[in-house]
Structure 1
Amino acid sequence: MEPLKHECGVAMVRLLKPLEYYQQKYGTWMYGLNKLYLMMEKQHNRGQEGAGMACVNLDAVPGSEYMFRERAEGSNAITEIFGNVHKKFGKATTQQLSDVEYAKHNLPFVGELYMGHLRYSTTGKSGLSFVHPFLRRNNWRAKNLCLCGNFNMTNIDEIFEKLVKQGQSPRIYGDGYITLEFMGHRLDREVERNFVDGKNLGLKDQEITNYIEDNVKISNVLKSTMADFDGGYVMCGITGSGEMFSMRDPWGIRPAFWYKDDEIVVLASERPVLQTTFDLECDDIHELEPGCALIVKKNCEASVERILEKRGDCKCSFERIYFSRGSDRDIYKERKKLGEQLTPTILKAVDYDTEHTVFSFIPNTAEVAFYGMLGGFKRYINEQKIKSIMDMDHKPSYEELTNLLHQYVRSEKIAWKDIKLRTFITEGTSRNDLASHVYDVTYESLEPYKDNLVIIDDSIVRGTTLKESILKILDRLHPKKIVIVSSSPQIRYPDYYGIDMPSLEEFCVFRATIELLKERGMYQLIEDTYNKCKAELKKPKAEMQNCVRDIYKPFTVDEINRKIIEMLRPEGMTTPVELVYQSIEGLHEAIPGHKGDWYFTGIYPTPGGVKLVNHAFVEYVENVYKYEQKF
């Protein structure tokens, strides 16, 4: 019920025909530019802090620009960057805009390669300089590199040290810039390798340049770069000479999908984006496999190459639960399954009283799981009807059948989101009071003191919105009981691979567990876990284990749930509240193809994740827990 900052989104378009082809067939040479715009808008959910796009013109002559970039900040960044691009066409006449030759040699953002990015910060760093794509300039076309990605690297400190050791001095300490410099350095070496080969073949001047551009192997650059990174990523890039690539991390943490025909090669973070933009069937589209790269050469030859061996089967399950578009064929089915299989647990929570239970959902992202939950209850009620009929020892009357068949699942639109709390309001009491009015309820949508109210959400992270708004407004309806349902399991651990998850102390599950330890006098477990984490941090990263998992071992999920409700219940609220979470087993059953569950289990796929979660607990104890113990 409180939004997480989404992962970033990427989009790439490579035109495989001359621009004249698109002008003749589609009525405009802007085909690639327009498709990039659509792909980015269809992924707007993945990033609203900023957006950027880049273009390469392969027909530009020396002395004219051939690599273009536009970036902007804010939720309207996509509109802004494409608006700025079209403003630059403003001086051209209608006839000139339809003249491909004129456009190629006189207008910006006319080209065969397009790349776009939508940003959500995973580092807390803001400003236009941190908006992708990043650009590394050079007078050699083949050495120009433009880079963007959906990624977060856990070992950027190690990469930085490696760059410095090589003699470089990066201008900014940020994973985007450091990745750009690291990869750019390897691209320089690849170009120089081809320069030497060309010289040895007796080539000179422009002949060597042509040889370099025809023989650059992006796979060499990726193999000598990406093996050093620890993290989740889909890394995308274009060069000034016309190379295009996108690589997925070897654990498969972050997603990417691509499509190719005789006109285009395209890639996006989500499959429905390609389906809608290019009118494709689901099975037309390919998932980029972990450790592989989609590479399109200057000569339009496209291939998928294995860069790194697959290191795990850790596709992110939270992608499927929360972030990705629910219009994807498989994601829609998975989210419905997540809701449906909670039926037995919810039945127990409402004491099997389906006649006096009303179902709803908050927020809109939980709608598909809500449909699945309704489906589960419809089946349950139908089974009860069948059982009742079969148990009858007489021919039922019309009235009996009518009463029986009119039993149904009751669902209502209970909550409405009215306003967005403005961040300029910082005074605590005022802010909390306004937060309680973010949602409003549909009055008289249930029978007071008689009907149970079941509300499903896709995840419960901090619990702040529950405490400050949701529970207060639901209590106005005076239900007999409120059951808050999460279609995902308890979120216990931060993410370090591209989702802006909060620190440990912000998780309501973690806070509740710490409170239970305190209540039961188990302070020694907190101290022991702290010492174990510090000891782990002294080991080589590959040998570390996640010791934070120990703090959850003494308690059942139900014990933690009860403590969460106790902590989140607003003062003065008397309505009974119960919390129902998806189980880990249920998660795996509903989403079998995405086994990355570190948010819930603490089983991180990379050594960097393990290191950071141990460090997070040390930071919590030293900066929060010990401070609280003093007062």
Structure 2
Amino acid sequence: MSDQIKHECGIALIRLLKPLSYYQQKYGTALYGLNKLYLLMEKQHNRGQDGAGIATIKLDVKPGNRYISRHRAMGAKAVSEIFEYVQKKFADVQAVSPELMADTEWLKENISFTGEVLMGHLRYGTHGKNSIENCHPFLRQNNWMARNLVIAGNFNMTNVDELLEQLYELGQHPKEKSDTVTVLEKIGHFLDAENQELFDQFKKEGYSNAEITHKIADNMDVREILRRSAKTWDGGYTISGIFGHGDAFVMRDPVGIRPAFYYVDDEIVVVTSERPAIQTAFNIPFELIQEIKPGHALIVKKNGHVSEQEFHKPSPKQLSCSFERIYFSRGSDAAIYRERKQLGRLLCPQILEAVKHDFKNTVFSYIPNTAETAFYGMVEGLHKHIKDLQKKTLLNRDEKVSDQELEEMLNMAPRVEKIAIKDAKLRTFITQDADRSDMVAHVYDTTYGLIKRKEDTLVVLDDSIVRGTTLKQSILRILDRLGPKKIVVVSSAPQIRYPDCYGIDMSRMGDFVAFEAAVSLLRERDMEGVIFQTYESCKAAQRLAKGQAHNYVQNIYAPFTDQEISDKIAKIITPKDINAKVEVIFQTLDNLHVACPDHLGDWYFSGNYPTPGGNKVVNKAFMNWMEGKNQRAYV
């Protein structure tokens, strides 16, 4: 993606099913869990450049000893800073008494983070609140062990106002208005309720308070706590949690918007946001890693029993996020790799039409590196087209083929080159707009001498186009220096038209070049009435009951074909002072579904939101744009 956007966070949960001494004996270290947590987090570092955090819980700790440990850090190097902090505790032991590093009982009793339940979180902040207090995991503490709660998640709720009102009705007074706090306090409330109900039950049966503490840990109904907590949530979420006594869970929203993968054997339970992290960290085959089903929670009891239980009725149709597949998740996942190649392959007919099937005078490339896999698929598609053409020409033609024609046909191949190279060292630190624009134009460098000036068409594949700013300010200017007669910018994703409200930082209508194009077309064609009517519909929708509002912003795009909007986008992103003609091609929505058949969540492109809160957010986002409010449409 040439326009960088922030996106959803990442989680990692590990439950060691054996005593720490087992891992010391088998793997030669009591830090087996911590080492694996570090690997899982580094392998998902693409999901967290703003901060990170870890928490661990020790099982069966004697009263008076600390059993919950947490450490968080800010910045792109947060993961390494956290584990350096933790490792120093053990390095100090190693320096003084090396033999104690093999004494798991001593380590557990004396050194923090030596626990059997481990949680990690990688954070991408959506809007500005980048402080240590906004980094997960979050704690809800209590002197009763089973009332302690630690959570970390990849989520965004669209109905925070409603959830806060419910907390007020319960008698709570949350310290701030955020979905993280509301989720923490909602689960915490029903955790307290479960504790109290069990306490009252066992008290009536004659157990002592000390005995009741253990009975609560053994009999806590985690699924019921989650069911009651999530009853009114509207959003996309994967939330991991640990109760102080040792029960752990990872819950996934009923639509399956956010991803969650897990692996279980007799030694370990592990859950992550991305499958390759588990494959790499534990050397686990692809087929042994499972996906938590929508509306289900993977629950690990303190006694080690593992189950996947339904806490919320799943939606009739799973609508997992397609952007995960196009861009956000690492392409090292075998399924994602295949899907991205297919996205590139499916673009070939449109590309060939744009270049008039002229392979001799067309160069194919990509920007940025995240588009590389789709580019491979596109190149494969071009080669297949050439083979089909060769077969048709050489085998199915009645007249004889000349030697020259035969040689040209057999030598036909797409001209594939690495044209644009991002200069990661360049920083646009100058504050004046004019100077900054000039600096931005040099963020990418090019490979010179590959384009025949004023003869060649240059095709560059991008994985998605959001704002088009980098294309206009930098990339197209740089490519124009090479002298192509035409530049065709190809997006392996469809036109991004609508904001996300489930964890990706795309929340303002004015940020989308597709929206800018549609509004420009309405104004050019004296159809501004559509804009004002849409605004009135959106305002009226704010008063409707939950679930009754539609996405009225779809009316902005309805008068135009996809091609009309693509053509307008091309004009918007074309700098005035370049010589090459610019054309823009987008993936079709139908082809997106063909390439990613199990991830049909396409609201960014279609406006078909999977939860009622989505329609509320998109209408509010349009109202904000009309009213000149540069803010997101949800808390």
**TM-score when normalising by structure 1:** 0.97
C-alpha separation in 2, matches of 1:230 and 1:289: 17
Q: Which residue of 2 aligns with 1:629?
A: none
Q: Which residue of 2 aligns with 1:286?
A: 290
Q: What secondary structure does 1:111 align onto?
A: coil
Q: Would you say the 8 A contact 1:122–1:152 is kept in 2?
A: no
Return 82-91 or 109-118, whichever deviates more: 82-91
Q: Would you say the 8 A contact 1:478–1:575 is kept in 2?
A: yes
C-alpha separation in 1, matches of 2:401 and 2:542: 72
Q: Which residue of 1 aligns with 2:352?
A: 347
Q: Which residue of 2 aligns with 1:569?
A: 574
C-alpha separation in 2, matches of 1:588 and 1:95: 58
Q: Which residue of 1 aligns with 2:564?
A: 559
Q: Which residue of 2 aligns with 1:10?
A: 11
Q: What amino acid does structure 2 have at the position aligned with 1:299? A: N
Q: Would you say the 8 A contact 2:9–2:121 is kept in 1?
A: yes
Instruction: Spell out, residue by residue over 1:568-608, the C-alpha distance to the aligned partner (whole angstroms, 9 max, x if none).
Output: 11121121111000001111111111111000010111111
Q: Which residue of 2 aligns with 1:390?
A: 395
Q: Which residue of 2 aligns with 1:76?
A: 77
In structure 2, do the counterparts of structure 1 residues 192 and 420 end up closer, same or farther at CA, with 3 Å as the change threshold? farther
Instruction: Spell out, residue by residue over 1:347-376, the C-alpha distance to the aligned partner (whole angstroms, 9 max, x if none).
Output: 110011112111111111111100010011
Instruction: Spell out, residue by residue over 1:139-183, the C-alpha distance to the aligned partner (whole angstroms, 9 max, x if none).
Output: 111111000100000011111111112111111222112211111
Q: What amino acid does structure 2 have at the position aligned with 1:48? A: Q
How far off is 1:420 after superposition? 5.5
Instruction: Spell out, residue by residue over 1:101-130, the C-alpha distance to the aligned partner (whole angstroms, 9 max, x if none).
Output: 110111010010000000011243221000
Match of 1:544 among 528, 549, 564: 549
Q: Which residue of 2 aligns with 1:628?
A: none
Q: Which residue of 1 aligns with 2:20?
A: 19
Q: Does 1:245 align with 2:246?
A: no
Match of 2:211 among 207, 213, 216: 207
**TM-score when normalising by structure 2:** 0.96
C-alpha separation in 2, matches of 1:395 and 1:507: 54
Q: What amino acid does structure 1 have at the position aligned with 2:395? A: M
Total equivalences in the alignment: 625
C-alpha separation in 1, matches of 2:570 and 2:385: 28
Seq. identity, %: 53
Q: Does 1:315 align with 2:320?
A: yes
Match of 2:371 among 366, 383, 403: 366
How far off is 1:133 after superposition? 0.4
Instruction: Spell out, residue by residue over 1:176-218, the C-alpha distance to the aligned partner (whole angstroms, 9 max, x if none).
Output: 1221111111111111111112112211032111111111111
C-alpha separation in 1, matches of 2:455 and 2:595: 33
Q: Does 1:503 align with 2:515?
A: no
Q: Does 1:184 align with 2:163?
A: no
Q: What amino acid does structure 1 have at the position aligned with 2:494? A: P
C-alpha separation in 1, matches of 2:234 and 2:329: 23
In structure 2, do the counterparts of structure 1 residues 168 and 25 end up closer, same or farther at CA, with 3 Å as the change threshold? same
Q: What amino acid does structure 2 have at the position aligned with 1:447? A: K
Q: What secondary structure does 1:227 align onto?
A: coil
Q: Which residue of 1 aligns with 2:470?
A: 465
Structure 2 gap segments, 5+ residues each: 631-635
Q: What amino acid does structure 1 have at the position aligned with 2:182? A: I
- Counterparts of 1:448-459 in structure 2, within 5 Å, are 448-459=453-464
Match of 1:519 among 513, 518, 524: 524
Q: Would you say the 8 A contact 2:261–2:292 is kept in 1?
A: yes
Return 563-572 or 129-138, whichever deviates more: 563-572
Q: Which residue of 1 aligns with 2:487?
A: 482
Return 401-410 or 498-507, whichever deviates more: 401-410
Q: What amino acid does structure 2 have at the position aligned with 1:5? A: K
Return 158-167 or 46-55, whichever deviates more: 158-167
Q: Does 1:622 align with 2:635?
A: no
C-alpha separation in 1, matches of 2:456 and 2:429: 39
Q: What secondary structure does 1:585 align onto?
A: helix
Q: Would you say the 8 A contact 2:151–2:241 is kept in 1?
A: yes
C-alpha separation in 2, matches of 1:86 and 1:391: 70
Match of 2:411 among 383, 396, 406: 406
Q: What amino acid does structure 1 have at the position aligned with 2:45? A: H
Return 461-470 or 159-168, whichever deviates more: 159-168
Q: Which residue of 1 aligns with 2:89?
A: 88
Q: Would you say the 8 A contact 2:55–2:120 is kept in 1?
A: yes
Q: What amino acid does structure 2 have at the position aligned with 1:60? A: V
C-alpha separation in 1, matches of 2:479 and 2:23: 55
Return 470-479 or 117-126, whichever deviates more: 117-126
How far off is 1:399 after superposition? 5.8
Q: What secondary structure does 1:596 align onto?
A: coil
Match of 2:261 among 257, 260, 282: 257
Over aligned residue pairs, what C-alpha RMSD do you find? 1.4
Q: What amino acid does structure 2 have at the position aligned with 1:471? A: L
C-alpha separation in 1, matches of 2:478 and 2:309: 54
How far off is 1:423 after superposition? 6.6
C-alpha separation in 1, matches of 2:172 and 2:185: 9
C-alpha separation in 1, matches of 2:335 and 2:365: 23
Q: What amino acid does structure 2 have at the position aligned with 1:605? A: P
Q: What secondary structure does 1:224 align onto?
A: helix
How far off is 1:131 after superposition? 0.2
Q: What amino acid does structure 1 have at the position aligned with 2:624? A: E
Q: Which residue of 1 aligns with 2:104?
A: 100
Q: Would you say the 8 A contact 2:441–2:473 is kept in 1?
A: yes
Return 43-52 or 123-132, whichever deviates more: 123-132
Q: What secondary structure does 2:627 align onto?
A: helix
How far off is 1:624 after superposition? 6.8
Q: Would you say the 8 A contact 1:358–1:452 is kept in 2?
A: yes
Q: What amino acid does structure 2 have at the position aligned with 1:41? A: E
Q: Which residue of 1 aligns with 2:64?
A: 63
Q: What amino acid does structure 2 have at the position aligned with 1:12? A: L
Q: Would you say the 8 A contact 1:59–1:104 is kept in 2?
A: no
Q: Would you say the 8 A contact 2:429–2:436 is kept in 1?
A: no
Q: Which residue of 2 aligns with 1:162?
A: 166
